Amino acid sequence: MSTTPEGEPGVTAPGWTAADIPALDGRTFIVTGGNSGLGFETCRALAAKGAQVVLAARDPEKGAAAVERIRAEHPDATVETRVLDLADLDSVEVFAAGIHEVDVLVNNAGVMMPPRTTSAQGYELQFAVNHLGHFALTARLLDVLSQGADPRVVTVTSFLHRRGRIHFDDLHGEHKYSRTGYYSQSKLANVVFGLELHRRLRLNNVPITSVLAHPGYAATNLQSAGPTGIMKLAMKVSNRLAAQDAGMGALPQLYAAVSQDVDGGQLIGPDGRKEQKGYPTVVHPLESARDRELAKRLWDTSEELTELSFGLAAR
């Protein structure tokens, strides 16, 4: 990996694509939400390079279908599906208990702008799936990851994190709920978590790299699965006119997962205008996402809500 100061742009390879992924034989990757969209493209690209891929999916039938699609294209691929429902912390516990080897965890799965819904534990769905489920999964896999080869945690966020704030006074939207506001909250939580995880791993000398990635504006089923009504129609039109395809959208998280030019604490996104399209490069997160008090409060709150501790000293 490169050795640039924390948060500073490192050297990236212009025009980097999945074809530039090195051989991954002997390495194990877990990709959440691997049955569709960015997750599927990530699984497919990793499997094509010889990685052992665990495709985590909420729906076992959709997971199995995704595995068959990959094997049809790459008959020798080592890929399997396992059930993981990030909206249920009990499912996260069961999934993690079955993992005994992993080198890279790609926290990719997400939900986007649904009507207000709650998780199995009663938390607002976007915050529960996009942040808390991945927070809990990372905590439960931390010891296994630390034994991996070049172990990494890649947390996938969105450029919409820049519009977010953490509503600590109404974390689950019980009093005033906005689909876009609470989506942006969850994506900001991803960034705050990924940066704070990097800081605590380094402080505690744990040999795991925490990296962030965002896809820009990529056309996936995420825009149609959550939104309803006029919002759903508007996103359908926007996808056709403005978005890049899921294969391009997956490149930043692939780069974050495999490139030796990546540093912990970096955010990888598209190199095009407004970071909406393009090839992977280092970009900057919202500056307030680096606020130490915000990070501590979110971390403590997340440990309380998940009833889990990373066991990583904060200072």
**Chain centre distance of CA 71:** 24
**How far apart are alpha carbons 30 and 10 in whole angstroms?**
25
User: Residue 22 has which token pair?
Assistant: 């090195």
Q: What is the 3-state secondary structure (H, E, C) of 113-128?
A: CCCCCECCCCCEHHHH
Residue 182 annotated among the catalytic residues of the structure: no
Give the total residue count for the chain.
Answer: 315
CB 2 within 8 A of CB 263: yes
**What is each CA distance from 155 to 85, 253, 269, in whole angstroms?**
17, 8, 12
Q: What is the 3-state secondary structure (H, E, C) of 195-248?
A: HHHHHHHHHCCCCCEEEEECCCCECCCHHHHCCCHHHHHHHHHHHHHHCECHHH
Q: Which of 225, 129, 228 is nearest to 186 (CA)?
A: 129
Selected catalytic residue, list 123, 177, 182, 183: 183
**How far apart are alpha carbons 105 and 32 in whole angstroms?**
8
The conformation of residue 135, written as its DSSP 8-state character, comes to H
Which H helix or E strand runs over 280? Answer: strand 280-283
The conformation of residue 314, written as its DSSP 8-state character, comes to -
Task: Just list the catalytic residues.
Answer: 183
